[in-house]
Amino acid sequence: MKRVTWFIGGVAAGATGVGMAKRRIQRTAAQFAPTAVVRQAADAVADRARGLVDAVRDGRSVMHQREDELKARRDGRLASMADHLGPADQVLVDGRPVEPNRVVVMRGDR
């Protein structure tokens, strides 16, 4: 009786192991199928394209901000905090000290 029980348990374990191995091999083979490789490559290219578009958008935004700052400086609408502070004054941004020359104040159009 013991031998029959162990035999049936071994057959069940073997069948389960073979089934799991078969599914894993099929899944791995599907990942390397030509259509899957093309799909992965297309997804990678799309991700890179989205990153490039985001970088260009950010660059344009920074460019426009810098252009506005330069125009304000040209038109006299730009003042540095250092121009309005005494030698003992300190500038805090979010509770942290910063150099006064790093703070820019832009006044509206006259």
DSSP string, 74-96: HHT-EEEGGGG--TT--EEETTE
Q: Which residues contact 108 (CB under 8 A, 6 or more apart)?
A: 77
Comparing 39 with 110, the larger pLDDT belongs to: 39
Confidence class of residue 90 from pLDDT cuts 50, 70 and 90? Answer: confident
pLDDT at residue 43 greater than cutoff 90: yes
pLDDT at residue 77 greater than cutoff 60: yes
Read off the pLDDT of each residue in 34-45 and give the average, rounded to a whole number: 92
pLDDT at residue 103 greater than cutoff 70: no
CB 98 within 8 A of CB 91: yes
